Amino acid sequence: MVISEIITERATARPPHWLWMLAEGRAVYEFGSFMLARPLLRRLPRGDGHPVVVFPGFLATDGTTAPLRGLLDDLGYDSYAWGMGRNMRFNEEREEEMLGLLDAIFDTHHGDKVSLVGWSLGGVFARELAKVRPEKVRCVVSLGSPIHLPHEHSHARHIYEQVNGPLDPREHERMAKLNVPPPVPTTSIYSKTDGIVSWRGSVQDPHMENPNTENIEIPASHFGLGFNPFTMIAIADRLAQDPENWSPFDRAGFRSFFFKTPKKLWGRSI
């Protein structure tokens, strides 16, 4: 990204409009639709049994990812919770814990690569782990994750700063590189009606270093992304990809009405 594009991005970076934040209560209805659609969701593409780790969002626990993990198990995957309590902070100790979890699952499955699915801040974690251990990661799917200027694009920034304190120089340096994709197939699922993280902060730039990146827009709230039926369709499709023959999400037919992709970002085509 050239300097002029960085300046343009910073000038337009802002959290979602407060009206979308007030509308986050619709996540209740998204969960209801998930429960109603549960029998149909079992007909989604079957998995091959490879392991999948699901990371919760900021301030959330594994309980929030239980519906998604339950569906993944039904589809034939071996799903794992992150098992580290409430997602409050990111530091070297927590990163080592997550890398240890990834290593253990990889060894348990005799070298089968692990897919990583992360909701919001959990998606940031998933991407960073894949950068450190790309040889053990099959793919990454993030849900409403702030991968561009995360403090500017999120309403949760003040709470995060109160919990974690100010960033040190090393953290600032790493934060500036969050938008660089890991060297594995990486999908960002986001919503333009997300009330917590601006959709612009979640979109990957396909001109970056990894060509196997994509963006999938769905109609959802931030708090409902982890069990929205459209999210389930997209995740099941991505996890079922042949790891040796990755291809972008197919929007043919009815999918074109519900699954979009951005045409422009920060005033330029992507």
Lowest pLDDT segment from 4-8, 118-122, 151-155, 196-200: 4-8
The predicted pLDDT at position 3 comes to: 39
User: Which amino acid would we find at residue 174?
Assistant: R
Q: Which tens digits make up the pLDDT trace of 253-268?
A: 888 889 988 766 555 5
Q: Residue 120 in contact with residue 146, Cβ under 8 Å?
A: yes
> Considering the entire predicted model, what is its pTM?
0.89
How far is the C-alpha of 123 from the C-alpha of 142, rounded, in Å? 4
Q: Which CATH topology does 3-269 take?
A: Rossmann fold (3.40.50)
- Secondary structure (DSSP) of 153-207: HBTTHHHHHHHH-SPPHHHHHHHTTTTSPPSS-EEEEE-TT-SSB-GGGT---TT
